[in-house]
Chain A
Amino acid sequence: MSSKTDERIDEEPTEEPTPQDEVARPVAPTRSSGWRVLMMAVLRVLGALAIPVAAFALLWGTFDFLRDADANRFMVVGVAIVVGVGGVFAMFWGMNRLVDQLPSHLREGVRPYVFVGPALVILSVFLVYPVINTVVLSFKDDHSDKFVGWDNYSFVFTDESMLRAMRNTAAWIVLVPLFAVTIGLVFATLADRLSRGEAVAKSMIFLPMAISFAGAAITFRLIYSFRPEGFGTNIGLMNGLKSWAGEESWFGWEHGTLLLAGLSLVGAILLLAALFGRLVGRRPLLSGPTIFVWVGGVLLGIGAAWWLSDLTPTPVAWLDQKPWNNFMLMVIMIWMQTGFAMVVLSAAIKSIPDEIIEAARIDGASELQVFRRIIVPSIAPTIVVVTTYMVINALKVFDIVFVMSPNAENSQTEVIAERMINSFFTDSNAGEATAIAVILFLAVIPIMIWNVRRFRLEEAIR
């Protein structure tokens, strides 16, 4: 991409007249006609000014209307959408008309700034200025009245709750990418080998990516839902499973025990199949990454069943189990982001030339070896990019904790971004809140710079 555009930048001046050219050949007007031209120009500029001014007045009038809470809600929303959508185009159109009224030698020099101007103005007012202001505010007291030096930062690094938030965030940025990328990678590899239904399977995993963190949080609150004994039936899936596991079933055994036995049996068979399948010299029953999935899944199942059957069937308040409740929240993000990892990695896997994989198979490589020695190294750059994306997202996680633990300090599930909003709105301490934001910024910068550079590098190679 970059080499192409660079070329064009060099070419362009030769192909269209620059403003200087037009200035260089002025028409020498007589005095009287010069006055008339000038007057006409002034009138035209005034006339053109009237368009944006009128547009602005109209916009302002509608905003007053929008503030009027008594107006019909459908009306308000409809007007808001029309004004918001139409207003921005009207602004560009009006400004462009204004430029058309300028003397011809200025026109093409000014027009580019009309095109980029709004973007630059908005970015300066709403991004550049705030960043500087945030840094300044982080050295001031809670009401931003006087400077307090490094006090806010020493608070950030000594406060018990903040330290816990940093530890929790550290766990988030390690565990969420680890699980999401691993599951996404294995699923992408397996889905690649489906003869049909691959697209459907992938879109089902990708689906949670479409919904909000708030919606996902409610979804999982339902799963973790807890009522103490004597306060009604537990309608959450986890506690439902737990009480089901404690129920007595065949042969006077509990469901949990039966499940444990069954899973152990399946696990043993799978293990034998994996081991002896190759010894006998036939194609192993299990091949490639499937082994990981099944052995891992069975082990997890055994663990869960053992745990469920071991404990009494009393319901558990899952979101109060410190520190495990942090993991309960991470599961939500893993659930939502695995689809992203899967889709991106799947595209990368499909771009590996078939010949390489076929050649390895002909050379006698097992599916596991193909996965480990060819697929993973080939898509390593993509894995890195996806992981950094997940790390940044996990670093800035806010909504999940905010919705799931209304009182994060009690449940000890604080994270950095959530602490920032908490100290600004609950503690009304702008100094500490901005100091936390700066810490977050400093943590993101190295990852982002590296990510963007890597992105550009890949584009250049492509």
Chain B
Amino acid sequence: MSLTAPLPADVESAPAPGGPETVGVRRGGWFVKITILVVVVFWLIPTIGVLVTSFRPEALVDSSGWWSAIPHLFDPAQWTFANYREALDTGGFENAFLNSLAVALPATVIPITIAAFAAYAFSWMEFRGRYVMFVAVVGLLVVPLQMALIPILRLYTSGASLGTMQIFPDLNLNGTFLGVWLAHTAFGLPLAVYLLRNYIGSLPSSIIESARIDGADHFTIFWRLVVPLSVPALAAFAIFQFLWVWNDLLVAYVFLGGTRETRVVTIALQQLVGARGENWHLLTSAAFISMVLPLIVFFSLQRYFVRGLTAGSVKG
């Protein structure tokens, strides 16, 4: 019966009527809507709890749950910015925020630049061993960064020596921004090279060859032609790497440490939990300070964001 049944011409566009004999239930009814709503509310409650608590005065935070503030939404006595002032100032989160920026921006740009040059060479330059090198770089995707932490830390604190001969100088990089940048660069490079080589390699060869014929050298082609054309891939990876570095705790903990001068926001949060685990007005405002930049990135660059995170799913 079904094989001979004529296909309605406008199955796609027809709004699904609620009639009992309707075929092609494209759109969900109230149950779907309610289900979605319930799940979304459920998912938002934790974040809302932090947000609400962070704006309540300390005394109220301490004496009642955050939900009891909701009936007083328009009562100015129930809300304050004092927690943020305290977290930024005495809590040291202004400093930590700046440090996070100083870590995350270069730790995003450096691997992208290095990877883009390498990806260009792997795609458009002729040299011995390029396929082997590319495969080796991609193969490093499988290495979890835990495998590299302790040796890199030793390189930073005492260099490396083979027998008695010093083969890597003691640069005393531990606790410096440069040390964290280099570590993050190494951990991000395999993925960056892999993604960018896929993208840059698929640019039409006619463009690059006509530029060659016009006398442009490789550096010019790369900088004036390939980089502008690769903005989508560069942006997707940049967002992935920036958030990865911003949200990272482990690498910063190992290489930058927890002194008040150099610590980043995630470390500062972790220390705050350890030291003042029940100061919820401070903890929540500090947590929100750490979230604000990722959330801005999330809401303003959502499309690149999703693409970047999806692409990053092969990172080891």
Chain A positions near chain B (C-beta within 8 angstroms) = 1, 4-5, 8-9, 11-13, 15-16, 18, 63, 66-67, 69, 73-74, 76-77, 80-81, 83-85, 88-89, 92-93, 96, 109, 111-113, 115-116, 118-120, 122-123, 125-131, 133-134, 137, 183, 187, 190-191, 193-195, 197, 201, 203-223, 225, 227, 232-237, 240, 281-283, 285-287, 290, 293-294, 297, 335, 338, 340, 343-344, 347, 354, 358, 361-364, 367, 385-386, 389, 392, 396, 398-399, 402-403, 406, 417, 420-421, 424, 430, 433-434, 437-438, 440-441, 444-445, 448-449, 451-452, 455, 459
Q: Which residues of A contact B155 (CB under 8 A)?
A: 125, 130
Residues on the B chain within 8 Å of A96, using CB: 219
**In the complex with contacts A194-B36, A219-B46, A290-B35, A127-B143 CB distance below 8 A:** yes
Q: Report B265 CB to chain A, min CB distance, Å.
A: 8
B102 — which chain A residues lie within 8 A by C-beta? 76-77, 80-81, 84
Q: From A19, which residue of chain B is reached at the shortest CB distance? A: B126
> For A83, what are the chain B residues with a Cβ–Cβ distance below 8 Å?
106
Q: Using an 8 Å CB-CB cutoff, how does the interface string of B205-249 with A read, 1 for contact, 0 for none?
A: 100010010000011001000000000000000000001001111
Q: Which residues of A contact B46 (CB under 8 A)?
A: 208, 216, 219-220, 222-223, 335
Instruction: State whether the Cβ of B98 lies closer than 8 Å to any Cβ in chain A.
Output: yes
Contact of B114 among A118, A232, A233, A286 (CB under 8 A): A118
Q: Which among A112, A335, A340 is the interface contact of B127 at CB below 8 angstroms?
A: A112
Residue in contact with A283 in the complex, picked from B25, B99, B138, CB distance below 8 Å: B25
Provide 25 A-B residue pairs closer than 8 Å at the C-beta atoms, listed in order of the A residue: A88-B110, A96-B219, A119-B114, A122-B114, A122-B186, A123-B137, A133-B154, A134-B150, A190-B36, A201-B36, A204-B43, A205-B39, A211-B290, A214-B265, A215-B266, A215-B290, A218-B287, A232-B63, A233-B64, A340-B309, A343-B306, A363-B2, A434-B150, A437-B146, A438-B147
A134 and B67 alpha carbons, distance in the complex (Å): 49
Which of A85, A125, A217, A444 touches B142 (beta carbons < 8 Å)? A444
Say yes or no: A190 contacts B147, CB within 8 Å.
no
Q: Decide if B117 touches A212 in the complex (CB within 8 Å).
A: no
Q: Check if B62 sits within 8 Å of A235, measured CB to CB.
A: yes
Which of A16, A125, A233 is B63 in contact with, Cβ under 8 Å? A233
Q: Which of B2, B125, B147, B286 contacts A437 (CB 8 A)?
A: B147
CB of B170 closer than 8 Å to a CB of A: no
Closest Cβ–Cβ distance, residue B41 to chain A (whole Å): 9
User: Chain A's interface: helix, strand, loop or mixed, by majority?
Assistant: helix
Interface string of B256-270 (1 = CB under 8 A from A): 000001000110011
Closest to B106 in A: A84
Q: Whole-angstrom distance between the alpha carbons of A456 and B307 in the complex?
A: 18
- B98 contacts A73, CB within 8 Å? yes
Assess whether B290 is in contact with A73, with CB atoms less than 8 Å apart: no
A-chain residues with CB within 8 Å of residue B114 when the two chains form the complex? 88, 118-119, 122
B residues 143-194 in Cβ contact with A at 8 Å: 143-144, 146-152, 154-155, 160, 168, 176-178, 181-183, 185-187, 189-190, 193
Interface contact B123-A5, CB-CB below 8 Å: yes
Contact of A222 among B44, B95, B105, B280 (CB under 8 A): B280
Docked complex Cα distance between A343 and B310 (Å) = 9
Chain B residues with CB below 8 A from A80, complex form: 102, 106, 177
Complex CA gap A67/B256 in Å reads: 12
- Chain A residues within 8 Å of B120, by CB: 115
Residues of B at under 8 Å CB distance from A?
A: 2, 5, 7, 11-12, 20, 22-28, 31-33, 35-36, 38-40, 43-47, 49-50, 53, 61-67, 95, 98-99, 101-102, 105-107, 109-110, 113-115, 117-118, 120-123, 125-127, 130-131, 133, 137-138, 140-144, 146-152, 154-155, 160, 168, 176-178, 181-183, 185-187, 189-190, 193, 198, 201-202, 205, 209, 212, 218-219, 222, 243, 246-250, 253-254, 261, 265-266, 269-270, 273-274, 277-278, 280, 283-284, 286-287, 290-291, 294-295, 297-298, 302, 305-306, 309-310, 313-314, 316
**Given A88-B109, A406-B273, A131 and B147 contact (CB-CB distance below 8 Å):** yes
**Are A85 and B144 in contact (CB-based, < 8 A)?**
no
When distances are taken between beta carbons in the complex, the residues of chain A under 8 Å from B40 are 201, 204-205
Measured CA separation A69–B187 after assembly (Å)? 28
Docked CA distance A396–B148 (Å): 14
Residue pair B122, A335 in contact (C-beta under 8 Å): no
Pairwise interchain contact B24-A361, C-beta atoms closer than 8 A: yes
B62 x A362 contact (CB < 8 A) = no
Nearest chain-A residue to B254 (Cβ)?
A: A421
A210 contacts B249, C-beta separation under 8 Å: no
> B22 touching A283 by the CB < 8 A rule?
yes
With A187-B39, A237-B49 known as contacts, the answer to whether A116 contacts B133 (CB < 8 A) is yes
CB pair A116–B118 under 8 Å, yes or no, is: yes
Q: Which residues from A are CB-within-8-Å of B45? A: 237
A84 CA / B114 CA spacing, docked (Å): 12
B286 / chain A contacts, CB cutoff of 8 Å: 218
Q: Which residues of A contact B110 (CB under 8 A)?
A: 84-85, 88
Q: Name which residue of chain B comes closest to A1, CB basis.
A: B198
Q: Are A119 and B43 in contact (CB under 8 A)?
A: no
| Residues on B with beta carbons closer than 8 Å to the beta carbon of A84 | 102, 105-107, 109-110, 177-178, 181
Whether A120 contacts B65 in the complex (CB less than 8 A), given A13-B126, A218-B283, A437-B150, comes out as no
Q: Is the pair A115, B117 in contact by a Cβ cutoff of 8 Å? A: yes
Please measure, in the bound complex, the distance between the C-alpha atom of A215 and the C-alpha atom of B26, giving whole angstroms: 39
Assembly CA distance A215 to B24 (angstroms): 44
Once the chains are docked, how many angstroms separate the CA of A297 from the CA of B177?
48
Kindly name the residue among A116, A204, A344 whose own CB sees the greatest number of chain B CB atoms within 10 A: A116
Separation in Å of the A451 CB from the closest CB of chain B? 6
Nearest CB on A from B56, distance (A): 10
B192, chain A: closest CB distance, angstroms: 9
Complex contacts, A115 vs chain B, CB 8 Å: 117-118, 120-121, 125, 218, 222
Interface pair A15/B209, CB less than 8 Å apart: yes
Q: Of the candidates B28, B122, B219, which one forms a contact with A193 in the assembled complex, judged by CB atoms under 8 Å apart?
A: B28
